[in-house]
Amino acid sequence: MNVSAKPERTRLSAEDWEDAALKLIADQGVGALAVEALARQLGVTKGSFYWHFRTREALLQAALERWEQYGEREVISQIEAMPDPRARLPELFRRVAHELAPHRVYAALLKALDHPQVVPVMARVSQRRMEFLTTIYREAGLPPAEALNRARLTYSAYVGFLQLNFTLGLPRISHEEFDAYVEHMIATLTPS
Partner DNA sequence: GACAATCCATACTCATCCGTATGGTTACTG
Partner DNA sequence: CAGTAACCATACGGATGAGTATGGATTGTC
Which residues in this chain contact DNA in the complex, by CB under 7 A? Answer: 10-13, 33-37, 39, 43-48, 50-52, 54-57
SS3 state at 174: coil
Nearer to a second copy, 12 or 162 (CB): 162
- With beta carbons less than 8 A apart as the criterion, state whether 149 and 110 touch: no
Q: Pattern 41-80, binding to a second copy, x per CB under 8 A?
A: ----------------------------------------
Q: Pattern 1-40, binding to a second copy, x per CB under 8 A?
A: ---------------------------xx-xx--------
What residue type is assigned to position 18 of the chain? E
Nearer to a second copy, 30 or 39 (CB): 30
118 phi, psi to nearest 5 deg = -85, -25
Pick the piece of the chain touching a second copy (CB under 8 A) from 34-42, 61-69, 94-102, 146-154. 146-154
* Among residues 8, 74, 84, 114, the one that binds a second copy under rule CB under 8 A: 114
Percent helix, percent strand, percent coil in the chain, to nearest 5: 75, 0, 25
**Exposed (0-12), middle (13-18) or buried (19+): which is 106, by Cβ within 10 Å?**
buried
56 phi, psi to nearest 5 deg = -65, -40
61 vs 120: CA distance, rounded Å = 11
- The reply on whether position 161 binds a second copy by CB under 8 A is yes
Distance set, CA 119 to CA 114, 123, 125 (Å): 7, 6, 10
Give the total of residues touching a second copy (CB under 8 A).
42
**Nearest distance from residue 154's CB to DNA, in Å?**
37
Q: Give residues in contact with a second copy (CB under 8 A).
A: 28-29, 31-32, 110-114, 119, 122-123, 126-127, 130, 145-146, 149-150, 152-153, 155-164, 167-171, 180-181, 184-185, 188-189
